[in-house]
Amino acid sequence: MSAAHLVVLYNAPKDPAAFEKYYAETHLPLLDKHAKEIGFTNGVLVKFSANSAFYRKAELTFESMDALKKGTSTAGFKAVADDIPNFASGGYTALRGEETP
């Protein structure tokens, strides 16, 4: 069974300071509140350098694709996902996939 990943790639926001404030003070605490229900085993947050194609990346790791599907079908995940448009003014891309050898 391979680990599965949910990756959210954020484009550069219209107001980076507002993005960072909301992300730190509202979005991440919301994710933390629902973490157990969603069931991911690890989370990695990356802020890219200024010349990158993307602004930030959030990556959640799950034990398997089945665990990812179960976690992303919860009310807690819906609350977290529905919050993204509140701060991702530059848009975002969400991807999911499995680790490969």
pLDDT surpasses 90 at 72: yes
Give the pLDDT of residue 1. Answer: 78
Domains and CATH numbers, the chain: 4-98 (3.30.70.100)
87's CB contacts (< 8 A; 6+ apart) are 13, 18, 19, 22, 23, 26, 27
The structure's pTM equals 0.94
Give the pLDDT of residue 81. Answer: 98
